[in-house]
Amino acid sequence: MALFDKQPEIPREKLKEMLKKSDIKIGQGKGLSDRQKESIESRDFPKKFGASINHSEYTRTINRMRMEKANEHDFAKKAKMGKELKFLQEIEKKGEAPK
């Protein structure tokens, strides 16, 4: 089930919980650290836009991250951005935090 299949928007707290509890592995079997997940939540989904996240906001964030990755010249930063981007795309596909 995808993240936005049944509801048009999700509360930010639910997204924060999903990011925190997810065990998605990126690359060589490694996932993102808790600090990286918190950074994604605070940097890419700030609270100034409201109490919930809709599908268009999520898509805009992913597209913005793709543009930033394409414009980055430092390979290490580009690889880190790629991991974060894949992580968010997998969250969107799976849609539910593991129990």
What string of pLDDT tens digits covers the 99 residues of the chain? 477 777 888 888 888 888 888 888 877 767 888 898 888 888 888 887 788 988 889 999 999 999 999 999 999 999 999 999 999 998 888 765 444
Q: What share of the chain is helix, strand, coil (3-state, %, to 5)?
A: 60, 10, 30
The boundaries of the domain holding residue 64 are 12-17+32-92
Q: Which residues face 26 on adjacent strands?
A: 30
Asked whether residue 1 is domain-assigned, the answer is no
Q: Residue 61 domain-assigned?
A: yes
pTM above 0.85, yes or no: no
Count of the separate structural domains present in the chain: 1
3-state SS class at 10? strand
- Cα–Cα distance measured from residue 47 to residue 31, given in angstroms and rounded to the nearest whole number: 25
Assigned domain for 47 exists: yes
Q: Is 72 part of a structural domain of the chain?
A: yes
Q: Is there a domain that residue 84 lies in?
A: yes
Residue 42 resides in a domain = yes
Could you tell me if residue 5 is inside a domain? Answer: no
